[in-house]
A and B are shown apart, each in its own frame.
Chain A
Amino acid sequence: NAGVTQTPKFRVLKTGQSMTLLCAQDMNHEYMYWYRQDPGMGLRLIHYSVGEGTTAKGEVPDGYNVSRLKKQNFLLGLESAAPSQTSVYFCASTRTGVYYGYTFGSGTRLTVV
């Protein structure tokens, strides 16, 4: 049982390049989320999904796209990276039903130069 796995862990991009961050969970969780973490700003929600095939915008969705074709995977895409997207990205998942905390991935540190 790996929990939530994020790949890659580190990446350096040039401005204008594209990339996809992968989040995979093996807990059969319905809900999945992508956050970005910047100094002094906490964790801000980018996009989220409440089930396979569904996605929705969070607080800071501009410049990102997501897809959830399979229940266990949630992909975050940057079509044309900008220096403002330099951040640490965390994926998280949770389930429906009773109160249950989030399970976080280990994070992806992305630098856009």
Chain B
Amino acid sequence: GENVEQHPSTLSVQEGDSAVIKCTYSDSASNYFPWYKQELGKRPQLIIDIRSNVGEKKDQRIAVTLNKTAKHFSLHITETQPEDSAVYFCAAISYGGATNKLIFGTGTLLAVQP
């Protein structure tokens, strides 16, 4: 089955700096890679996603890149702000299959220092 590894587990940056979180996946059939942000005590919220036929996607200050050959994808947050502080999860799924199971990485706690 799919296995998703995520690094680093914790990340501390100064406000205004960039943050990068990296994930690798094992199942070459995975074709959809969402990123979730989870604030303390809240449910995970989708912030950006990328499909396997796309190499990069941007949405304002956040971007995701995908390297299918190497089976890794990354989240990039530029000009970080204190409200970006949260736990971020990457995930992988083989969409359109029989189960649509989403497998998550172990999460990255991002702390943005003012």
Task: Say yes or no for A56: interface residue by CB 8 A criterion.
Answer: yes
Interface size class of A (residues with CB under 8 A): 20 to 34
Beta-carbon contact of B104 and A58 below 8 Å = no
Residues of B in contact (CB 8 Å), total 24
Beta-carbon contact of A42 and B101 below 8 Å = no
Selected contact of B105 from candidates A42, A45, A58, CB within 8 Å: A42
Shortest distance between the CB of A31 and any CB in chain B (Å): 5
Selected contact of A43 from candidates B9, B32, B42, B104, CB within 8 Å: B104
Beta-carbon contact of A56 and B95 below 8 Å = no
Scan B87-111; emit 1 where CB is below 8 A from any A CB, else 0.
0010000010011111111110000
| Chain A residues in 8 Å Cβ range of B34 | 101-102
Beta-carbon contact of B104 and A42 below 8 Å = yes
**Contact A45/B106 with A99-B49, A101-B46 known, Cβ cut-off 8 Å:** no
**Interface residue stretch chosen among A62-70, A72-80, A103-111:** A103-111
Beta-carbon contact of B99 and A48 below 8 Å = yes
Beta-carbon contact of B44 and A33 below 8 Å = no
Which chain B residues have a beta carbon within 8 Å of chain A's beta carbons? 1, 6, 9, 32, 34, 42-46, 49, 51, 89, 95, 98-107
6 A-B pairs with least C-beta separation: A42-B106, A104-B43, A43-B104, A101-B46, A42-B104, A42-B107
